[in-house]
């Protein structure tokens, strides 16, 4: 049976099972000792995958709307009933300190989507991702400490910005910058792990970068399945990635700063101007040749006219 048909049948099946369950209520019309829709929702997620959650949410909303007649109450209860389908992942995954429960099929769909997003980030920002990977590989502890510093200072900085009218408009851009830096840095950490497994060549091609991302993602996926280790690995790599991206951005700004001043030519211009002013303050005698730094010699006869 096509999955679209299964999702279309899931909504009326959930509504019917919910109405039957509410017929068994005796103490409260909204509470039943037997609630078959929860098992139906879990079965749908196991068979169809994470894409079944909209049908579960819609079915729960219709059941509770018919029973209570209140749209806000029906929405709240529908959210709770939908989260029931996530109970296996919460109890056997999150509470055990791991992000991936291998025997839940819909989890692997989420993993595949996340891998696709990471590959797209690596393709669009191959330079920043490579710089973050180099920073993380060279200074992992410094990247971790810098990432912690960014997270600690982020809250008071946003609070200060939100206290002003102009700052409120800036806050969304700051949050977007932090999210992008964290995402680029996380991909950089994954690429650094992949390069440690299979080193990249000197040509640094996109194919090699994709290979490193896939290998690093595979290593992290295995780590995410281990209780306690998975959640700790996720947190540490996220902080290191944010710090690595921040450090790489700071290093890029330092490298580009001399280019903005003409590669140091601005300093030469300043020195020539200073020398010119020094000669102007002390004009040479008439008939002597006037020589200025960076300028050719001028005839003595023209010097008084120039100085006046």
Contact predicate 232/97, CB 8 Å: yes
Count of CB atoms situated within 10 Å of the CB of 240: 28
Residue 68 pLDDT = 72
With the CA atoms of 163, 168, 170 and 173 taken in that order, what torsion angle do they form, in degrees rounded to the nearest 10? 120
Average pLDDT of span 73-93: 78
Q: Write the pLDDT tens digit of every residue in 52-66.
A: 878 888 888 888 788
Residue 275 pLDDT = 52
Count of CB atoms situated within 10 Å of the CB of 265: 10
Of 17-31, 51-65, 232-246, minimum mean pLDDT range: 17-31
Contact predicate 56/81, CB 8 Å: yes
Count of CB atoms situated within 10 Å of the CB of 304: 14
Contact predicate 132/185, CB 8 Å: yes
Q: Write the pLDDT tens digit of every residue in 138-196.
A: 999 999 999 999 999 998 999 998 888 888 889 999 999 999 999 999 999 999 999 99
Q: Please, what is the average pLDDT of the chain?
A: 80
Q: Write the pLDDT tens digit of every residue in 242-264.
A: 999 999 999 988 887 765 555 44
pTM of the model: 0.66
Residue 17 DSSP class: H
Task: Sort residue 43 into left (φ over 0), alpha (ψ -120 to 50) or beta.
Answer: alpha
For residue 118 the two structure tokens come to 């990471």
Find the DSSP H helices in the chain.
Answer: 3-23, 36-47, 53-68, 71-84, 87-92, 105-124, 126-138, 140-162, 165-197, 206-224, 229-260, 265-281, 303-307
Residue 289 DSSP class: P
Closest Cα partner for 174 from 150, 204, 192, 208?
150
For residue 113 the two structure tokens come to 């989507």
Compute CA 132 distance to the chain's CA centroid, rounded to the nearest angstrom. 13
User: Would you say residue 94 has pLDDT above 80?
Assistant: yes
Q: What angle do CA 240, 244, 246 make, to 5 degrees?
A: 120
């Amino acid at each position: 049976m096509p999955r679209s048909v299964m999702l279309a049948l899931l909504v009326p099946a959930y509504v019917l099972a919910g109405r039957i369950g509410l017929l068994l209520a005796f103490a409260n019309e909204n509470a039943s000792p037997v609630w078959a829709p929860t098992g139906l929702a879990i079965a749908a997620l196991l068979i169809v995958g994470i894409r079944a959650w909209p049908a579960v949410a819609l079915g729960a909303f219709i059941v509770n709307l018919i029973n209570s007649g209140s749209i806000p109450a029906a929405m709240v209860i529908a959210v709770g009933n939908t989260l029931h389908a996530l109970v296996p992942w919460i109890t056997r995954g999150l509470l055990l300190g791991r992000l991936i429960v291998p025997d839940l099929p819909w989890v692997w769909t989420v993993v595949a989507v996340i891998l696709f997003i990471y590959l797209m980030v690596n393709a669009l920002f191959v330079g920043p991702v490579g710089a973050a990977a180099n920073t993380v590989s060279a200074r992992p502890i410094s990247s971790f400490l810098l990432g912690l510093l960014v997270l600690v200072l982020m809250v008071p900085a946003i609070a200060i910005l939100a206290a002003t009218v102009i700052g409120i408009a800036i806050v969304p851009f700051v949050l977007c910058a932090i999210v992008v830096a964290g995402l680029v840095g996380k991909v950089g950490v994954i690429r650094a792990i992949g390069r440690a497994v299979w080193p990249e060549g000197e040509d640094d091609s996109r194919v090699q970068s994709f290979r490193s991302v896939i290998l690093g993602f595979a290593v992290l996926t295995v780590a995410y399945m281990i209780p306690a280790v998975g959640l700790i690995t996720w947190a540490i790599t996220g902080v290191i990635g944010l710090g690595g991206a921040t450090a790489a951005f700071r290093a890029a700004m330092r490298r580009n700063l001399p280019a903005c001043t003409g590669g140091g030519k601005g300093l030469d211009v300043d020195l020539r101007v200073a020398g010119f002013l020094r000669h102007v303050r002390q004009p040479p005698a008439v008939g002597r040749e006037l020589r200025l730094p960076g300028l050719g010699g001028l005839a003595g006869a023209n010097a008084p006219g120039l100085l006046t």
